[in-house]
């Protein structure tokens, strides 16, 4: 079992003929993901390797049976691409694109309330259910299939570090999700925690947060009230100065809010096992799980 | 991206938001000429820098006649203005804004911000104008009115009424206030703002509303579609090292410690800074070279780190996913040769093609240590400083 993506995921890659889209579509295929279609408006009828390219997501759904979209469209066109995917009826939309204007994402977020589609990202590495489907840009081989741990994170390479430490401890993963580093995103920590709590094969969760906003604090409250499974938490940015944007658009301490210290305290109060030294995260997980 | 007060007021003016009569000057002579067109006194002489708290640092003065205008302009232009927001090094003042004084009856606070929690635009208003809004929020949160606007639907009269009634505005002011707020909303959306703030928003004895101060900043992600906004950028207000980093497409932030570090990915970069601190040393910077770093970017990253003379050692931590370790290792070797690195180097690599990468570093003849894992890397680099 897993959450959001599995062996039945049928992927369409939006922006498949671009450099990034092409490279990562191939990586997904190599991992074993069913990549059934690509979309590049104006290039319908062509093929990328053996993958048929369509002009619209609607065609990818009706002709190729796509139920999940992976978006590599550049920022000026990304909001359009996300809403097109939602209208076409895919269940899951994973947006890798970094640098989408905040106002665009605000509108998309409200628009998606009228749709049943789930958005992961933007500005994220995507989602992987090891051994079943990789919908994203993460390196496949560091993951260990079979569970029993779920991973959810706001970051990219930091997630890889965490997953790798789990794998070295011989702890497999059910599903690993990067929810993205932007201030406005689709799926949040709580969505993932709730799904992991409901997934019978997931026995515990590693949650990786960072400075900025209050998503971790809200997640901590959710953990306190709703999680029966153990959660190991890590927060990046204990040494981050206030008022500076730390790479991710959402990673900023403003007006004294959003500090790592505050998030660590909240997670502890929520009953999570907080790891304060990333170098020892794997050891802690081996103890807790 | 931030702009100056006078630029923000030009934008206000374009959208029909009333501002005091005024003009900009870059010398005392220009200031005199501007003041003579204002038609009376007092005249406010206001230093134009991005940082707030200008009044506290002596950057805002009131002149009662033309000789005082010249005196104040002469003193402020060219001064190094230190405010609570500039840090102790201060910021040189290149120009002043001269404005005719108003008959102020009351001062309010009004702002629009991009609200990440609700994915909407948040209007905040308060009767406690002229004060630091974060202070008001901390001490008397009930004095702040919050109105959320759904960006798909936009602003409606009821949003404005909610703010106006919350501010206890007199009946005759409700309509002009609503017009002003609607105009500010339009400005916010048209120009991809992240903040539009008026503090104070003034009610005059003649029952007119004026933006006495103006602060506007923009969403960096949207600058590609805001050419006029980009033209307002003032590089003199930015840290030169930040400007250089943005030229190279690198996320670099200078800090106070002695351990330089280079990492791929923002979250991991923050975590590596924390690891350095836990190992007993202090990070000298934040540097995210991104997932698609090239040899050239790594070289530029070294240059940025080495431009900070406090740096005594450098830690490189790369988790190779898409960026393969062998490519990275070649980049490090090339960059190390081209930039003459004169401090010890600790490298930790993991991920795709890691064995090959380690071999390239071992064969390079460079004076560097490799680390087994993150913990080992932090301890090794901390031992060097």
Digit-coded pLDDT (tens) for A164-216: 999 999 999 999 999 999 999 999 999 999 999 999 999 999 999 999 999 99
Residue A200 lies in a domain: yes
Tokens linked to B260: 């330089």
Does the pLDDT of residue B19 top 70, yes or no? yes
User: What CATH number has the domain bearing residue A175?
Assistant: 3.40.50.261
Q: Are residues A43 and A142 in the same domain?
A: no
Interface subset of A 99-118, CB within 8 angstroms of B: 99-107, 109-111
Q: Are residues A181 and A279 in the same domain?
A: yes
Over residues B363-380, the mean pLDDT reads: 91
A246:B251 CB<8 A: yes
Q: Are residues A163 and A38 in the same domain?
A: no
| Per-residue pLDDT, B47 | 97
Residue A31 lies in a domain: yes
Residue A129 lies in a domain: no
Does the pLDDT of residue B94 top 90, yes or no? yes
| Per-residue pLDDT, B105 | 96
Exposed / middle / buried, residue B224 (Cβ in 10 Å: 0-12, 13-18, 19+): middle
- Number of other residues whose CB lies within 10 A of the CB of residue A91: 16
pLDDT, tens digit only, all 289 positions of chain A: 799 999 999 999 999 999 889 999 999 999 999 999 999 999 999 999 999 999 999 999 999 999 999 999 999 999 999 999 999 999 999 999 999 999 999 999 999 999 999 999 999 999 999 999 999 999 999 999 998 999 999 998 999 999 999 999 999 999 999 999 999 999 999 999 999 999 999 999 999 999 999 999 999 999 999 999 999 999 999 999 888 888 887 888 877 789 999 999 999 999 999 999 999 999 999 999 9
Task: Write phi, then psi, for A35 (nearest 5 degrees).
Answer: -90, 105
Active site residue A273: no
pLDDT (tens digit per residue) in B175-218: 999 999 999 999 999 999 999 999 999 999 999 999 999 999 99
User: What CATH number has the domain bearing residue A107?
Assistant: 3.40.50.720
Nearest by CB: A214 against B117, B277, B350? B117
| Per-residue pLDDT, B85 | 84
Q: Are residues A105 and A150 in the same domain?
A: no
Q: Are residues A210 and A279 in the same domain?
A: yes
Topology classification of domain B21-101: Dna Ligase; domain 1 (3.30.1490)
| Per-residue pLDDT, B249 | 83
| Per-residue pLDDT, B139 | 83
Domain that holds residue A110: 10-120
pLDDT (tens digit per residue) in B218-277: 999 999 999 999 999 999 998 888 888 888 888 899 899 999 999 999 999 999 999 999
Q: Are residues A98 and A218 in the same domain?
A: no
* Selected catalytic residue, list A24, A143, A248, A273: A248
Domain boundary, last residue among A120, A148, A182: A120
B286:A247 CB<8 A: yes
Q: Which of B241, B214, B271 is nearest to A246 (CA)?
A: B271
- For β-strands B193-204 and B215-218, DSSP reports them as antiparallel
pLDDT (tens digit per residue) in A144-172: 999 899 999 999 899 999 999 999 999 99
Residue A126 lies in a domain: no
Tokens linked to B320: 């190779």
A156:B267 CB<8 A: yes
Tokens linked to A276: 């304060």
| Per-residue pLDDT, B322 | 67
Tokens linked to A169: 């401890």
Q: What mean pLDDT value characterizes chain A?
A: 95
Whether B80 and B34 have beta carbons less than 8 Å apart is answered as: no
How many Cα atoms occupy the beta-carbon half-sphere of B336 within 13 Å?
20
Q: Are residues A160 and A253 in the same domain?
A: yes
Does the pLDDT of residue B109 top 70, yes or no? yes
Q: Are residues A241 and A109 in the same domain?
A: no
Domain boundary, last residue among A120, A149, A167: A120
Residue A5 lies in a domain: no
- For β-strands B313-320 and B22-25, DSSP reports them as unpaired
Domain at B1-20+103-238: CATH code: 3.30.470.20
Mutate to test the interface with A, among B117, B254, B266, B273 (most CBs of A within 10 A): B266
DSSP string computed for B116-182: TTTTEEEEEEES-TTS-HHHHHHH-GGGEEEEEE-TTT---HHHHHHHHHHTT--HHHHHHHHHHHH
CA atoms of B46 and B95, how far apart (whole Å): 9
Q: Are residues A110 and A147 in the same domain?
A: no
**Domain count of chain A?**
2
Beta-carbon contacts of A62 under 8 Å, excluding residues fewer than 6 positions away, are none
Token pair 């205008």: residue:
B69
For residue A154, list chain B residues with Cβ-Cβ distance below 8 A: 267
Does the pLDDT of residue B365 top 90, yes or no? no
Q: Which of A256, A270, A169 is nearest to A218 (CA)?
A: A270
Q: What percent of chain A has pLDDT over 90?
A: 92
Tell me the pTM. 0.93
Which ipTM was obtained for this model?
0.92
B278:A276 CB<8 A: yes
- For β-strands A68-71 and A10-14, DSSP reports them as parallel
Domain boundary, last residue among A120, A146, A177: A120
Q: Which of B63, B91, B65 is nearest to B77 (CA)?
A: B91
Q: Are residues A50 and A154 in the same domain?
A: no
Q: Are residues A19 and A83 in the same domain?
A: yes
In the 8-state DSSP scheme, what is residue B283?
B
Cβ pairs bridging A and B (under 8 Å) = 172
CA atoms of A7 and A27, how far apart (whole Å): 16
CA atoms of B240 and B222, how far apart (whole Å): 22
Nearest by CB: A110 against B119, B224, B373? B119
Tokens linked to B385: 């400083």
Residue A132 lies in a domain: no
List chain B domain ranges. Answer: 1-20+103-238, 21-101, 239-384
CA atoms of A156 and A139, how far apart (whole Å): 11
Tokens linked to B367: 């004076």
Q: Are residues A85 and A173 in the same domain?
A: no
pLDDT (tens digit per residue) in B115-155: 998 999 999 999 988 877 777 877 888 889 999 999 999 99
Whether B363 and B334 have beta carbons less than 8 Å apart is answered as: no
Structural class in CATH, domain B239-384 = alpha beta
């Amino acid at each position: 079992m897993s959450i959001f993506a599995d062996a039945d995921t049928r992927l369409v890659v939006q922006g498949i003929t671009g450099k990034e889209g092409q490279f990562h579509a191939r990586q997904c295929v190599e991992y074993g993901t069913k990549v059934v279609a690509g979309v590049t408006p104006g290039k319908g009828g062509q093929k990328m390797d053996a993958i048929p390219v369509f002009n619209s997501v609607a065609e990818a759904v009706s002709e190729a049976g796509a139920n999940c979209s992976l978006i590599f469209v550049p920022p000026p066109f990304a909001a359009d691409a996300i809403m097109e995917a939602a209208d076409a009826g895919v269940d899951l939309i994973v947006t890798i694109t970094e640098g989408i204007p905040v106002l665009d994402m605000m509108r998309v977020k409200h628009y998606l309330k009228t749709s049943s589609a789930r958005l992961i990202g933007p500005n994220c590495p995507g989602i992987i259910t090891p051994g079943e489907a990789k919908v994203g840009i993460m390196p496949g081989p560091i993951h260990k299939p079979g569970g029993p741990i779920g991973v959810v994170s706001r970051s990219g390479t930091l997630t890889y570090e965490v997953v790798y430490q789990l794998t070295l401890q011989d702890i497999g993963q059910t599903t690993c999700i990067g929810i993205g580093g932007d201030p406005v995103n689709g799926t949040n920590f709580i969505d993932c925690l709730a799904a992991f709590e409901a997934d019978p094969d997931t026995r515990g969760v590693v949650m990786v947060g960072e400075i900025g906003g209050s998503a971790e604090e809200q997640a901590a409250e959710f953990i306190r009230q709703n999680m029966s499974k153990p959660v190991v938490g890590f927060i990046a940015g204990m040494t981050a100065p206030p008022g500076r944007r730390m790479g991710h658009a959402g990673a900023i301490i403003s007006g004294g809010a959003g500090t790592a210290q505050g998030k660590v305290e909240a997670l502890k109060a929520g009953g999570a096992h907080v790891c304060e030294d990333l170098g020892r995260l794997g050891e802690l997980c081996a103890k807790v799980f | 991206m931030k702009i100056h007060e006078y630029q923000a007021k030009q934008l206000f003016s374009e959208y029909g938001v009333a501002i005091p009569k005024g003009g900009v000057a870059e010398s005392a002579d220009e200031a005199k000429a501007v003041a003579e067109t204002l038609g009376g006194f007092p005249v406010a002489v206001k230093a134009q820098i991005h940082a707030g708290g200008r009044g506290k640092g002596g950057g805002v003065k009131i002149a009662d006649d033309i000789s005082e205008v010249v005196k104040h302009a002469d003193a402020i232009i060219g001064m190094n203005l230190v405010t609570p927001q500039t840090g102790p090094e201060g910021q040189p003042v290149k120009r002043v804004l001269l404005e005719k004084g108003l008959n102020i009856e009351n001062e309010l606070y009004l702002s629009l911000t991009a609200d990440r929690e609700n994915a909407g635009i948040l209007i905040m208003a308060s009767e406690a104008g002229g004060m630091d809004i974060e202070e008001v929020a901390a001490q008397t949160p009930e004095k702040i009115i919050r109105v959320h606007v759904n960006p798909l639907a936009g602003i409606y009269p009821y949003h404005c009424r909610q703010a106006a009634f919350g501010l206890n505005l007199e009946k005759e002011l409700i309509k002009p206030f609503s017009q002003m707020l609607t105009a500010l909303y339009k400005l916010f959306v048209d120009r991809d703002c992240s903040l539009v703030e008026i503090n104070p928003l003034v009610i005059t004895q003649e029952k007119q509303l004026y933006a006495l101060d103006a602060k506007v900043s923009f969403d960096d992600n949207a600058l590609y579609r805001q050419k006029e906004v980009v033209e307002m950028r003032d590089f003199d207000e930015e840290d030169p090292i930040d400007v250089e980093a943005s030229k190279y497409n690198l996320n670099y932030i200078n800090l106070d410690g002695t351990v330089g570090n280079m990492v791929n990915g923002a979250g991991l970069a923050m975590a590596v800074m924390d690891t350095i601190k836990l190992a007993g040393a202090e990070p000298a910077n934040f540097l995210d070279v991104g997932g698609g770093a090239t040899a050239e970017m790594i070289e530029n990253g070294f240059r940025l780190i080495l431009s900070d003379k406090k740096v005594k050692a450098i830690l490189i931590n790369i988790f190779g996913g898409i960026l393969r370790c062998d490519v990275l290792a070649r980049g490090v070797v090339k960059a190390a040769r081209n930039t003459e690195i004169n401090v010890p180097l600790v490298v930790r690599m993991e991920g795709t093609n890691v064995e090959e990468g380690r071999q390239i570093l071992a064969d390079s003849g460079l004076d560097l240590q490799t680390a087994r894992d993150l913990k080992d890397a932090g301890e090794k680099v901390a031992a060097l400083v």
